[in-house]
Every structure is written in structure tokens, then in C-alpha cells.
Amino acid sequence: MQGERKVADWLFDHGVEYEYEPKRFTFNKNYSYLPDFYIPRLDLYIEVKGWMKPRAELLHRLFINRSYELLIIDDIKRADEILSKEVPSVAARA
């Protein structure tokens, strides 16, 4: 939760409109995925992870394979750096 709060603060401070846990994606009866953030203007989902379990890696692959853009922040200490680098690059492509 602390990592999600840091990302939410960064998005707010940079004027990026976002939705928190906007939609659950169901892949089959055993697998569903709820991304942490969605940035509608960029059509970008963001996932904050402190560590990566094998099931989470599988869900991320399933999600990406369905052509969704997903930014995974797996090092919260670098969240500012990652967001500063990745969010503008996605915006430039949009």
C-alpha cells in the first residue's frame, strides 16, 4: 500500500489523471487481474509490486499478451525515476 500511495502522489503532483483499481480482468475461471492504476489519456496501466511471485508474473504476461500497456514498478525506491522516464515516453507515442 505504501508503494501505491507513492505512485498516486507522483501522478497527482504531475497532474496526471488516473483511476485506482479501475477494472478486474478475467482470463478464465482460475485467473483474474486487477491493475493498481489506469491512466486513460495514455491507455496505460500501472502495477506496483514490492516483490514478484510466479503467479503475479503469469498474470502480467496474460495481461500484456492481450495488448494492454503495462508499466510494472518493482522497485518503489526508484518509482519517481521510473515514472519520470516511462510516463512521458508513453505520452509521446499517444
Distance CA 17, CA 43 (A): 11
Alpha helices, DSSP H, located in 1-94: 2-13, 54-65, 79-93
Q: Nearest 5 degrees, angle CA 26-CA 46-CA 74?
A: 110
Note the pLDDT tens digit of each residue in 32-52: 889 999 999 899 999 998 666
- Pair 8, 20: CB distance under 8 Å: yes
Q: Is the pTM of this model over 0.75?
A: yes
25-28 and 31-33 as β-strands: parallel, antiparallel, unpaired? antiparallel
- For the cut 90, the answer to whether the pLDDT of residue 57 exceeds it is no
For residues 6-26, give the mean pLDDT. Answer: 92
CATH code of domain 2-76:
3.40.960.10
